[in-house]
Amino acid sequence: MNEGDRVGDRRLLRRELRTSRATPAVVVAVVLLGAALGTAAAAIWTTDPSGASLVQDGAVAVRTAWEEPSWRAAAAAVAGIAGIALIVLAIAPGRRRRHGRGGARVELVVDDGLLADAAAQAVARHCALAASQVSATVTARRVRVRIRPISGVPVDRAGAADAARGALERMGFGIRPVVTVDAKGVVA
């Protein structure tokens, strides 16, 4: 395996873990292209006398609308929302709900739901609880484990955290567990 393959693998992993920005990029390109074509068409029309009046009417309509404060505010709001959305799309990491890790030979991509299930199962087994009493959610760097205890049976919180950490480390993901125990338990 040479260096190029390794870089290619890392790119592949990144592709699997991040959302594609192709769709918003295509949308922006199409809109800009449409605006450019529209401007060109309007410029060509103005040379034709019959078209000039039409374009002029259009310009007048736009100007009167612009005089109206509500229209102006609406236009500003739309532009602002579109701008903010585009900036967020450009800057945000666009994480997919997956975790990946590189390895010596293969790259591994695992859905967050599967990791959460593994952690919840390990905790349920450690605490001798029903699987329905343990729920887990996996975020970028931590797994939140929520335990609904049995009334009158103390929950070993540190042991539960260790169980979750161990289950995830066996799969090669060092995600920090955060264990919360519900204040209210179930009688049985």
Partner 1 sequence: MSAAAAHVAGPALRGRTTLTARALHRLAVGIVASASGADPREIALRWDDADGGLHATVTLPLRMGTAAGQTLQEQGASVRTSLVTGMAERAGRRVDGVDLRFTGVRREDARRVR
Rule CB under 8 A: which residues touch partner 1? 125-126, 128-130, 149-156, 159, 181-188
What secondary structure, in 3-state letters, does the chain show?
CCHHHHHHHHHHHHHHHECCCHHHHHHHHHHHHHHHHHHHHHHHHHHCHHHHHHHHHHHHHHHHHHHCHHHHHHHHHHHHHHHHHHHHHHHCCCECCEEEECCCCCCEEEEHHHHHHHHHHHHHHHHCCCHHHEEEEECCCEEEEEECCECCCCCCHHHHHHHHHHHHHHCCCCCEEEEEECCCCECC
- Cβ 97 to partner 1 shortest distance, Å: 30
CB nearer to partner 1: pick between 77 and 153: 153
Nearest approach in angstroms of CB 166 to partner 1 is 13
Nearer to partner 1, 69 or 154 (CB): 154
CB of 132 to partner 1, least distance (A): 12
Toward partner 1, which CB reaches closer, 23 or 132? 132
CB of 144 to partner 1, least distance (A): 19
Q: Looking at beta carbons only, is 11 or 125 nearer to partner 1? A: 125
